[in-house]
């Protein structure tokens, strides 16, 4: 059962989908999970693949478009602010606690890719979250710092100059998350399997959605370069933790991030590595998604 809802978030609203078990009208209060999705994705993509499966296994699941993206409000558009992404999660929990039949004391989170880092960062200080599940979690700060050929400080200098120019011109700059086509990727020399699979998911009929723009506001990058999703995890994130990783490590950094998270967390409960899966295959390949959701369901049932 799917309900389209809106989540109040200060002066704007977040567009969200609430996936409910078919027996949601029963008297037993429901466990519930908020999904934190990858950067650039919208609720109909990766999040829906996991939320619908969790609901089929008896767990209510709420997936939303981040502020400034998808069908949610917020200007300027296409902003990827990791701190606001964390606030989005807390607003989603606010909304979920008011849903009839949901037990507000049994709310967990599931973070996927960049959303895994955002989920962890939020769970450190929002202890309404009682259990933290992650699938191929990424620390966007580490990733963005590692991508800078002249180092992150030089990148921040260039971004400062670019923002000066934006202030003068009044025009905001946007960049692609990914090449828009496989042909563009090949022309740019980006032929590794992870980039190819990312484009195949996001920019072809396999996973494309009209509300996912594949554009990032350039000023987002200053925020991402200074971000650490795992800061103070060892001291503050006391909730039970599930980490699910793709067995084919690739170049996304999620395997290393997941293992770092596992070592940092005070209460790691279960670590799963899915043999043969690549990072982006964990988004929608039924064999791998079903295996992950089966393990997550057991985790949430035991910890919520």
Q: What backbone torsions phi and psi does residue 14 show, to the nearest 5 degrees?
A: -100, 135
**Which pLDDT score, from 0 to 100, does residue 24 have?**
72
> What is the distance between the alpha carbons of residues 41 and 190, in angstroms, rounded to a whole number?
21
Has residue 27 got a pLDDT over 70?
A: no
* Res. 23 pLDDT band, cuts 50 70 90: confident
Has residue 264 got a pLDDT over 70?
A: yes
> What is the distance between the alpha carbons of residues 36 and 39, in angstroms, rounded to a whole number?
9
Model pLDDT for residues 275-290, shown as the tens digit of each residue: 999 999 999 999 999 9
Instruction: Provide the whole-model pTM.
Output: 0.96
Has residue 205 got a pLDDT over 80?
A: yes
Residue ranges covered by each domain of the chain: 2-141+229-303
* Res. 73 pLDDT band, cuts 50 70 90: very high
**Which pLDDT score, from 0 to 100, does residue 28 have?**
83
**Which pLDDT score, from 0 to 100, does residue 179 have?**
96
What's the CATH number for 2-141+229-303? 3.40.50.1820
Rounded to an integer, the average pLDDT of 71-75 is 98
């Amino acid at each position: 059962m799917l309900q389209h809802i809106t989540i109040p978030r200060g002066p704007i609203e977040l567009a969200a989908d609430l996936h409910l078990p078919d027996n949601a009208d029963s008297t037993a209060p429901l466990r519930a999970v908020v999904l934190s999705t990858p950067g650039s994705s919208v609720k109909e993509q990766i999040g829906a693949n996991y939320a619908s499966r969790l609901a089929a296994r008896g767990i209510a699941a709420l997936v939303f478009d981040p502020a400034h993206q998808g069908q949610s409000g917020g200007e300027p558009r296409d902003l990827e602010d990791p701190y606001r992404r964390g606030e989005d999660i807390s607003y989603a929990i606010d909304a979920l606690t008011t849903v009839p039949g949901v037990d507000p004391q049994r709310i967990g989170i599931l973070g996927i890719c960049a959303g895994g880092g955002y989920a962890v960062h939020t769970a450190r200080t929002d202890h309404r979250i009682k259990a933290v599940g992650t699938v191929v979690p990424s620390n966007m700060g580490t990733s963005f710092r590692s991508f800078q050929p002249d180092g992150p400080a030089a990148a921040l200098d260039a971004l400062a100059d670019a923002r000066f120019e934006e202030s003068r011109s009044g025009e905001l700059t946007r960049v692609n998350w990914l090449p828009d086509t496989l042909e563009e990727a090949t022309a740019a020399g980006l032929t590794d399997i992870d980039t190819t699979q990312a484009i195949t998911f996001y920019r072809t009929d396999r996973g494309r959605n009209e509300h996912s723009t594949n554009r990032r506001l350039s000023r987002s990058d200053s925020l991402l370069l200074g971000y650490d999703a795992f800061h103070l995890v060892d001291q503050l994130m006391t909730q039970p933790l599930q980490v699910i990783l793709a067995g084919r490590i690739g170049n996304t950094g999620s395997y290393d991030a997941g293992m770092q998270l596992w070592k940092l967390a005070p209460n790691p409960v279960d670590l799963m590595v899915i043999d043969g899966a690549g990072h982006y295959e964990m988004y929608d390949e039924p064999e791998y998604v079903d295996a992950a959701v089966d393990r997550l369901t057991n985790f949430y049932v035991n910890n919520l």
